[in-house]
Structure 1
Amino acid sequence: MASKFPTSDDFDELFLTCSICMRHFQDPRVLPCLHTFCRECLQERAAKQQPLECPTCRTQVSLPDQGVDGLKTNFYVNNLLDFAAAKKGSGAPCQVCKKSVEGSKSWCADCAILMCESCTMLHRNFPFSKDHEVTTEETLKAEGGISSFHRKRHCQKHKNQELVFYCESCKALVCTACTVVDHRPGKDHNPVEIATVAQKKKESLQALLQDIDPRLREIQASVKEVERKMANLAPSKEVATDQAKSYFRQIIDLLQKRERDILSQIDEQCRADGKALQTKKEAIEFELAGLTSAQTFCQQAVEHGSDVHILEVGNQVQTRVETLLTKQLDLESDWSEFQFVERTAVADIAEKVQDLGGVNTNFKVEVKPAVQGFRCFAKLLTLNSEGRSLVTNSEAITANMSDPSGKDVPTKVQMKSGGVWEISYVPNAMRNHRLEVKVNSKQVPGSPFEVQVHGKDTPALSIGQKSSGVEELDGPLSVAVDKDGNIAVVERPNKRVQIFDADTGQPLSTFPVDGECPFGIDVDFTGRVFVTSFGDNYGIRCYSKKGKLLKTLKPDCIKHPLGVAVLKDGRMVVADRTQKSCFLLKPDGSLIREIGKGQLQGPIYVSVKESRDMMIVTDGTAHKTFVFDLGGKLKIDFGKKGQIDGEFKSPAGVVVDRRGNIIVVNHSGGRIQMFGPDGTFIRTVTTVKAGSPNHGITLTPDGYIAVACYTGQCVKFYRYN
């Protein structure tokens, strides 16, 4: 819906004040974001701030070559300023004679001045201004007077000429004189009356206005949704707080009940043990009394008895004492001090307490493999159940990393897509680093994270081991990256393709492939998988991303297909070891041309960089790498058999990066080398220390080289850039 046209009461407040200087606009200029400021205000700000940011919306502005002077003038605001001055009428001085003459004033749209009655009469009588458009104060003050009010614009070259034409060829406003001199109608210029062009532009802008309305409603609905959520924030907090208190009160109640039970058990055990000990004590004391009495009687008889007395009672005393002495008595108590036993250590409980409830934030961090000296990444997911991002402001996210010594490692947070944020950093030390991630000053679940940083010769990630089971590999030969950044691997013994997540190494899918000896693999931009196989039932087979066989190609020219590369238009390049050449094929498998015949001895792998018209072939027999254009012309070849920089020992997998650098892995020894587009040796990227022989390689979107290690039964990932 179009905005209501402003009234004179709105001017000073809404339209005529610059938000920088807070005064009426002086030479108002429009930024690309459509916010208006005084020309001098923008110049002062641009002199202090590079790049210039809009003071209202903070959009970065790329100024034209002329600087602020090259920005468009806001003639609409100028019109409002003029109209506001004209509306003052009798209260404003004449802009010709400069006198504060009482009475009505008139406005000349050609000269953009306010005049008193006398000056208006003179203005109308002068030959040069008699045809000017003059509006009286009464007309200006009438209802709707502003709708017809405007300041005429004149040609910069022909000062007395009004701009009445628009040169469509030059996209410039011109006057009548310009159409005769500089913009004469013809093949280079096409001046058209302004009204005609303006009407078309108005119609296109009107269409845009109609497109804006649905978007405005969508944004307004979003604002209302945010307001609704803000209104629910306090009640939601209250409910969550009550739930948490209730939850922990129940746990406290359980602990207190357990405490009472244990104390009750202690009391009961104490009473039972006391009773048993009392009984034991009484039994022992009874035996003690009997023995003590016999002792006393025997002692009295010995010390004080006569011979007659001793003879009379001696046998009786002897029998009694001997009976007491030989009597088996239980003098030991089977009671031992009881004690409280900690069945679960306090430290273990403290650890488990961390798992007692939590706040569901829907935040998750995925830490990717890290390598010393390379830019590495972690991924923060902030999606709700509806798939929308819970965070839209990067300032709400903080990431802090420290190395093993506690020194800070600079981090950068950047949104990659809706709800997915990338945390990047460059670790300069190996071993464990600590990554702390917060959203709105609160730790995300699992933070701080432990990040293991490896050296460049240590694989950041390895996929697979020998087996025919899922997740494991047996004889991986070639690798490729699909349109989603996942890794597709072809296994020769298992005769299948497996697709893995390149970030985690987790298997995503697997499917069997036909052919006796599958070898090469590539994935086109639609996700279709192309696999070559040699031996009996050789050919080039195309599968859907779900593993359905779509077509099988067996061109007559192909005998022993190995490496394959699929072009954007569906054409294919296939290396054939028996034919000692490569073949450029149409999508239906028909031959376009043979490449490298007479130059190649044992081609194995191919890679194509269409933007540079490069087809790269590794030759394991010649120990060289060849570069052809797609027309079949040899551009360069480089390398020879050897172990030093720039030399090969049976080069195998090859890939080209965005800069046109050529990366080649040795079949034997595992050395991965980088060469410039002209074949010049640049550096050894890394050396695969185990798992040789090595075969296919590919580059992942986030800067890793994936290497198929045939006897190592795995795919290893090394940091590349």
Structure 2
Amino acid sequence: MAAAPGSFREEIREELSCSICLDPFTRPKVLPCQHTFCQDCLQDHAGRGGPFQCPICRQQVRLPRQGVAGFPDNRMVTSLCERLQNQATLSGETREQPQSGNRCSFHPSEKLKLYCKPCQVPLCVDCVEDSHDGHPNISLAKATQERRSTVQALINEGRNILESYCSFIRGLRETEKTLNKQKQQTDNAIIQTYNKMVQKLTERKDHLLSESQENYNKNLEKMQTERDRVLADVNELSAACDRAEQELQQGWVEILSQQTALTEVVGKYRGKAAPTPVQTQPAVFQPTDTPVPVLGHVTIQSLPSMPILVAPAAIPAAPAPIPAAPATRDIHYHHGNQRQREHQPQRATFGGKGSGTGQFDSPLGVAVSDEGEIYVAEYGNRRIQVFTLQGTFVRQFPTVVSGGEKIYPHDVAMDGEGNLWLVGGSLAADFAVHYNKQGRVLRKFDLQKTRRGRGVAVDTRRNHILITQSTGRLLSPHGEVLVFKPDGTLVGTVGQQQGMKHPRYITVDREGNILVSDVDNHCVYVYNKDGQFLFQFGGEGSGEGQLKHPRGICTDRAGNIIVADMGNNHVEMFDKTGKFLKHITTDMEVPWAVAMAPQGQLVMTNMNNTISIFHTY
């Protein structure tokens, strides 16, 4: 039995209505999941940008570059909406005609009473005389009666066809609901199985890390015992030499009085054997060469009485076994341990001890250009190696001064033009050297010789070169930051009043503030762009917010401060006021220098002669 015309119209209108605004579609856009919505409704739902979920099936959808307007138009829905609107308009006109008294549109004062058979149009008397003279015609009432049965039969046939179409659409809607429910159940089962496997792997990982840490602590304790023993000898010898130097300046009488004591102390150590290297036994991890556990398979089951056909998905092959330990120049991806109960970013690591391409010997400095090239300064190999952010080797060049003499690099920094500033030294002198990207020396100037490492940063706003320096005796050092023009002219000094001992690494944030890590004071000093002291943070310890022999320092785009906490084997993040935010990673072996790439990756050197790139930082 055919449904009433009104119910059909309502069903069609419902199917051609947006599920967000519940009104007929306006500029309908279709998503990759094949669900359609008004363009304006999608714009409100998607917000300013980024991925969003389909309001019906919750599938993740990525916005095109043009935004919501970039989604394809649903031309079929647009056509159906137009037809529905035209039909509603036509029905409105038909209903209004009787109210106008069947007036002729050409002769408004006359009523339509006749029907022209050849032309098949209703006429008034004036129409017959004007343009239908001689055409056979009959009364409009008779013509209507003759055609009523034919039109009614067509209406009934059309309603029956519409009923079958509406039934099909209702079936599609029910099938979609069933598919959504079954997909959610399947996804939940996959996630639960995955979580169980991850939990077992995490427990095993934590156990292995605990064994590694225990081994490390034993070796560290052995080294500390030897360090304390040798430092006692250093203190005795240093004190004897200092007293002799003071007496030497005062006169012969004092020298004679100190000669006997100095002879005794020096003689004591003259025949004493030099300290021997500490024999450590580092732990080595050997991954088991076993296949990856198979999580499961997704199989396709046919659904009974489905009005549409679903193409079966291909069942993927089981994953390949984990390969044996790769070579040192390969890139390894890691997830940091979760002993701190917080998310730790994925990282890629490459390198290894050596002098070949892609190998390192004491990589003390690192910088990243605006183009994403990593510049690594190797102290042992006296060179700069350049890599992409994917760890691919690009080029290398030796760290030389203008005369061709090789120097040992301590640190590197990029200037505003994409060239490189390097600080380092030979056995006789220290230098600041300016290179272009290919390693050609542009300029250099001399620095005071120091026995401790330096750091360098560039204030691109003022084109100033900032270099750390530590002078004085070994046990009573004095630290400061020197500010130069590119030609070597000294502009001023920073940090003389704060009791710096060994300022090692330095950076300048986006606001021009100067941040310096002090190895001996276990803290970070912060100064404004004019060199005025703002605050310091850190302090010796291993708790949150504390530092132990901090090295590399840099800032991210938000102004957060990243510090390589070498003594604790951590990399820490603080906000711009020095407040501790989180551990970026807690399982690095002697983290050293850090740099932030323009794309947001954190690049770090380690004293195990590797480079780590944190891709999800």
TM-score between the two structures when normalised by the length of structure 1: 0.39
Q: Per chain length, whose mean CA-contact separation is higher, i.e. which structure has more relative contact order (CA < 8 Å, sep 6+)?
A: 2
* Bigger radius of gyration: 1
Q: Provide TM-score, normalisation by structure 2.
A: 0.45
